[in-house]
Amino acid sequence: MKGPNPPAAKKPRAGNHYLLVVLDSCRYDAMKAAGPKTLRKLGRMEKRWSYASWTAPSHYNLLTGLMPHQSPKRVFASEYYQRDFLKYNERLGVEGLDFRAFLPRMYLPPVLRTMGWTTHAMVSMPVLNPATAINSGFDSYRLMEKHNDLRAMVRRLEFPEGERRFYLLNAGETHYPYALPHEPEGEWPRISGLHGALGHMEGQAVGGKLKRRAFPAKQLRELKQRQIEAVRYLDGVLEEMFDLVPKNTYVTVTSDHGELFGEDGYFGHGPILHDLVLEVPFVEGKIR
């Protein structure tokens, strides 16, 4: 499905294909504990901070061109932004691209189209569905049939001769319930009241106040371990992706936000102000 009125693309010119892979809800320490080997081939893994604590606004921010930030000290924020946009010269394999090129739209897909790239997205989370504002300036935009199957996205990647492509891939294996595609749904872990904003809402508020819950500590530890195992699984899928894409491909792998597994009485993400919700992994580099 196409977004609203994408600008006409120019003829493609020399440069890199660019893939932005977002491991939904994956917190930094889970990625570190998983010890992914394939991802480390891209470069040094960093701990960075998301600009938002839940999926939709974080993806919007990523598509403005701003990656999770380093929270630098003794610098002007405006200077950091400019340096972040200059990084697209390396990602795209071009020269002379600066912050002004992102104006006035301040949105990566239409900017890339004006430079000759075609833009495509495959997403797992329903809050990113094609009817949302996230789908702006894309040549194609697909909500996948399953919320947890990055391999299905990888198998749909195409790189036609003479074309430069941008792909946004949103992977849901690291999102609750941290289920891998081969696991039967009946075997997924369940915590009452945590099956999404649209389900099981009845009985969650009493007298206008949310119920306090005694979270099962053992089960939350198991859920964190499931996210770690999901990262290890995805590292294998990414190895398949690296073998598939052309050599002139630049890949950024990060997360939209983190997750709480009972720390300080919290579970989940979104309306939570906590370092572990904002700490995300970040690694990028060119496929060689």
Residue with tokens 């470069």: 43
- Reduced to 3 states (helix: H, G, I; strand: E, B; else coil), residue 206 is strand
Q: Which residues contact 181 (CB under 8 A, 6 or more apart)?
A: 146, 148, 149, 151, 152, 173
User: Residues 62, 55: contact at Cβ < 8 Å?
Assistant: no
Give exposure, 45-73, as e/b (b: 16+ Cβ within 10 Å): bebbbbbbbbbbbbbbbbbebbbbbeeee
Mean pLDDT of the chain, nearest integer: 88
The pLDDT score that the predictor gives to residue 199 is 36
Cα separation, 167 vs 138, whole angstroms: 10
Give the pLDDT band of residue 7 (cuts 50, 70, 90). very low
CA atoms within 13 A on the CB side of 22: 29
The yes-or-no verdict on residue 209 having pLDDT over 70 is: no
Cα separation, 256 vs 67, whole angstroms: 10
- Reduced to 3 states (helix: H, G, I; strand: E, B; else coil), residue 53 is coil
Q: Write down the domain spans for the chain.
A: 17-183+202-286
The pLDDT score that the predictor gives to residue 126 is 95
Residue with tokens 């999926």: 55
Cα separation, 282 vs 79, whole angstroms: 20
The pLDDT score that the predictor gives to residue 1 is 52
Tell which residue, 268, 93, 286, has the closest CA to residue 193: 268
CA atoms within 13 A on the CB side of 235: 21
pLDDT tens digits along 157-172: 999 999 999 999 999 9
Residue 207 Rama label (left phi>0; alpha psi -120 to 50; beta): left
User: Residues 180, 148: contact at Cβ < 8 Å?
Assistant: yes
Q: Show the tokens assigned to 40.
A: 């480390």
**Type of residue at 92:** L
Give the pLDDT band of residue 207 (cuts 50, 70, 90). very low
The sign one gets for the Cα dihedral 73, 50, 171, 159 is: negative
Q: Helices (DSSP H) in 46-177: which residue ranges?
A: 55-63, 77-86, 88-92, 108-114, 150-154
User: Residues 21, 171: contact at Cβ < 8 Å?
Assistant: yes
Cα separation, 168 vs 19, whole angstroms: 6
Q: What percent of the chain has pLDDT over 90?
A: 71
The pLDDT score that the predictor gives to residue 211 is 54
Q: What fold does the segment set 17-183+202-286 form as a domain?
A: Alkaline Phosphatase, subunit A (3.40.720)
Cα separation, 135 vs 253, whole angstroms: 20
User: Residues 173, 180: contact at Cβ < 8 Å?
Assistant: yes
Residue 82 Rama label (left phi>0; alpha psi -120 to 50; beta): alpha
